[in-house]
Amino acid sequence: MSKGIFALMIGLLTVLYGEFLYAQNYQKDGLEASLNLGTQTENFSWSIAGNSNGENPNILSELKWTSIKSVQVGANLKLTVSNRFVLMGNYTYSTVTSGVVSDRDFEEDNRTSISYSENFNGDKGKFYDCKIGAGYKLFKIKEIMLESYIGYGISSQKYLINSINIDSKRIGEYTAKWVGPFIALQANFGVIKNARFITSVSYHQINFLGLGDWTLIGEFEHPVSFKQTAKGYGLNVTPMLNFQVCRKLSLGINANYSKYETGSGTDELFLKSRETQKTKFNEATKNAIGYGLVFTAKI
């Protein structure tokens, strides 16, 4: 018998043994529905250069959203369709409650010679996140389960920018959309009786779109004054400690950390005169951390 055939047989036996172990430990979960309630704090920023070559200066204008706090409500569905395969979907809606926006313009490279500097109120806005995907249960041995997922996600944030004055006049608004496929791994293992630790890590390949409306500038088009496009990536880590309340219900305490970044792209400014001005979009970055409660029912 050749070494190749022997290796193939060993590999096949290994796979079959893994399937046997999985079947011995598998319990069909059916449909799981979850309700999430939580809070999140986010920081977001972007900048553009003075021209399409990234020069004159290399950072012409920079906007930063700092400590953007929001309250969240979300729903998750997970359907086990066979011993190995699952379908999933989730939707989260957030309302902004507080935050600060800063706008800086520069005349020289590397953020020197400030020509404009102003802070604004960033306590208004709406976010939503939506993902759908399919998963494969890699193995389940006793109290340890590992699942892999592939899917598609949309993360959208609409930031409203208001003056800090008492009248809180609307200065403008900005919408950021991070869209693209993702892959994920989820580990699930028992900690103590009726308690499990569940953590998931996902990587997202991103197409970024930014749309801005500078309401008070008459020379700009409205409702879209400028558009920004770029490609990037995102990372998301979600650990959770889940307690089994009864056979059908569980309560989880979770945290969430996410980081999104783009490379350089294009910024297009639309003028009332129908002229379009293009410059280099340097980058956009977003990071957020949140905490919450998860109520899950098995149906």
DSSP string, 139-172: EEETTEEEEEEEEEEEEEEEEEEE-SSTT--EEE
Find out whether 107 and 74 touch, Cβ atoms under 8 Å.
no
Cis upstream peptide for 239 (omega within 30°) = no
Q: Distance between CA 87 and CA 33 in Å, rounded? A: 12
- Provide the pLDDT for residue 166: 61
- Provide the pLDDT for residue 255: 97
Q: Distance between CA 232 and CA 217 in Å, rounded? A: 30
Nearest to 159 by CA among 95, 103, 207, 230: 95
- Provide the pLDDT for residue 82: 86
- Span between the terminal Cα atoms of the chain, in Å: 52
Fold classification of 29-298 is: Lipocalin (2.40.128)
Tokens at residue 209, please? 């779109």
- Provide the pLDDT for residue 152: 98
- In angstroms, the Cα distances linking 90 to 117, 153, 238, 256 are 40, 9, 14, 15
> How do the pLDDT tens digits run along the chain, 299 residues long?
445 444 444 444 444 444 444 444 444 558 999 999 999 999 999 999 999 999 999 999 999 999 999 999 999 999 998 888 999 999 999 999 999 999 999 999 999 999 999 999 999 999 999 999 999 999 888 778 899 999 999 999 999 999 887 677 889 999 999 999 999 999 998 878 888 999 999 999 999 999 999 999 999 999 999 999 999 999 999 999 999 888 889 999 999 999 999 999 999 999 999 999 999 999 999 999 999 999 999 88
DSSP 3-state assignment of 93?
strand
Q: Distance between CA 12 and CA 9 in Å, rounded? A: 5
Q: Distance between CA 173 and CA 161 in Å, rounded? A: 5
Tokens at residue 78, please? 């997970």
Nearest to 35 by CA among 71, 77, 74, 69: 74
Find out whether 169 and 205 touch, Cβ atoms under 8 Å.
no
Find out whether 44 and 68 touch, Cβ atoms under 8 Å.
yes
Q: Residues 158, 95, 261, 55: is their CA dihedral positive or negative?
A: positive
Placement of tokens 């890590």 in the chain: 201
Find out whether 133 and 124 touch, Cβ atoms under 8 Å.
no
Q: From the CB of residue 3, how many other CB atoms can be counted at a distance below 10 Å?
A: 7
- Provide the pLDDT for residue 30: 83
Find out whether 175 and 156 touch, Cβ atoms under 8 Å.
yes
Nearest to 30 by CA among 90, 82, 76: 82
Cis upstream peptide for 57 (omega within 30°) = yes
